[in-house]
Amino acid sequence: MIVCFDIGGTAIKGAIATSAQDIRPLPRQPTPLHDFSAFVATMRAVIDQAPEQPSCVALSIAGIIDPDSRRAVVANVPCIHGRLLQDDLETALGLPVKIANDADSFVLAEAGIGAGRGHRVVFGVILGTGVGGGLVIDGKLINSEGGFAGEWGHGPVAATQAGNPPADLPRFRCGCGLDGCIDAVCSARGMEKLHAHLHGKMLTSEEIIADWQRQDPDAARTIDVYVDILAGPLALVANVTGATIMPVGGGLSNSLELLEAIDHAVRARILRKFARPLVVKAECQIEPGLIGAAILGLGG
């Protein structure tokens, strides 16, 4: 038995887990943002609800463990940002601690009990507020010691011409400090910036997708360009990793039609040919962070 956590900037979700199929959530607690002692006390209060001493504690965090310094980079929870988080929590809690970021937890969940079941190589894709991902091979997370593997949304690789016929595109500035990242143009906000560039009007990503499904020509043009920009880099990820399934989470994954368009475009660009979908909707829609943390803590 372990205790697993999904740590967010608003709430800490905790659960008792004996397997990936047996995860019992506990009441959410507000996240102490600026007081590490209070943060530990909140975790301890959840752990104390376990019926016995857990074998370890596993966390999903919206951040990164730097593989060189071992320090946590978690901007939305300042009291753990910059800490040697694993060491500090193990000292404070007296238990072994395992940590993964939220995208890695998502792909662990999908590989374990979601759309990636039965696949050796699973690349999980996040298309939402940001563009991210994670990689699991033979049930094991590549980022077992932290790190940036799977962050395909960053790097100056976005096309400056895309769509049919090709549209000229700027190299949108990304929050990471680079220009031309996939995150900057293929996240939900990126789709909105793309639509404004092409048509001179601001709509939400939900409105753009809804208009596209109603066959609005402006929205159809935006989605055509969007899919063309996204498909090449994602196809390269498939070629490099050998992934045989790519479950997608995040807000944009709610449109099955968009995922189908992305899937067709990616499969047309990869070396290995699949007669079935490669890019699919994630199956773990409820608490993937807790599920992934549980799998991590139980030996994933």
CA distances from 296 to 8, 21, 104 (A): 18, 13, 10
Residues 162 and 251 in one domain: yes
At 38-69, the pLDDT tens digits run 999 999 999 999 999 999 999 999 889 999 99
Residue 266 lies in a domain: yes
Q: Are 93 and 43 in contact (CB under 8 A)?
A: yes
Confidence bin at 159 (pLDDT 50/70/90): very high
**Based on the domain organization, do 187 and 74 belong to the same domain?**
no
40, two tokens: 């530990």
CA-CA distance, 16 to 8, in Å (whole number)?
18
Which tokens go with 203? 């709509």
Query: Does 166 lie in the same domain as 18?
Result: no
Residue 243 within a domain: yes
| Banded pLDDT at 273 (limits 50, 70, 90) | very high
Do 187 and 266 lie in a common domain? yes
Inside any domain, residue 113: no
61 assigned to some structural domain: yes
pTM (predicted TM-score): 0.93
Residue-level pLDDT at 300: 54
Say yes or no: 131 and 80 in one domain: no
Considering the domain architecture, whether residues 135 and 276 belong to the same structural domain is answered as: yes
Report residue 114 as tokens.
Answer: 């979601």
Q: Are residues 170 and 85 in the same domain?
A: no
Query: Do the domain assignments include residue 156?
Result: yes
Q: Which two tokens stand for residue 99?
A: 């940590």
Q: Both 94 and 180 in a single domain?
A: no
Domain that holds residue 220: 118-281
133 within a domain of the structure (yes/no): yes
Same domain, 35 and 78: yes
User: Are 274 and 125 in the same domain?
Assistant: yes
Number of structural domains the chain divides into: 2
Question: Given a cut of 90, is residue 146 above it in pLDDT?
Answer: no
- Between residues 231 and 143, which one has the greater pLDDT? 231
CATH number of 136's domain: 3.30.420.40
- Residue 3 phi, psi (nearest 5): -115, 130
pLDDT band at 144 (very low <50, low <70, confident <90, very high): confident
The tally of CA atoms less than 13 A away on the side-chain side of residue 232 is 13
Residues 253 and 292 occupy one common structural domain = no
One domain for residues 49 and 22: yes
Range 234-241, long-range pairs (CB < 8 A, 24+ positions): 234/125, 234/152, 234/262, 234/266, 234/279, 235/266, 235/269, 235/270, 237/123, 237/133, 237/152, 238/123, 238/266, 238/270, 238/272, 238/278, 239/270, 239/271, 239/272, 241/121, 241/123, 241/135
Mean pLDDT of 207-233: 98
How sure is the predictor about 299, in pLDDT bands with cuts at 50, 70 and 90? confident
Q: Is residue 112 part of a domain?
A: no
Instruction: Flag whether pLDDT at 86 surpasses 90.
Output: yes
- Domain assignment present for 77: yes
Confidence bin at 266 (pLDDT 50/70/90): very high
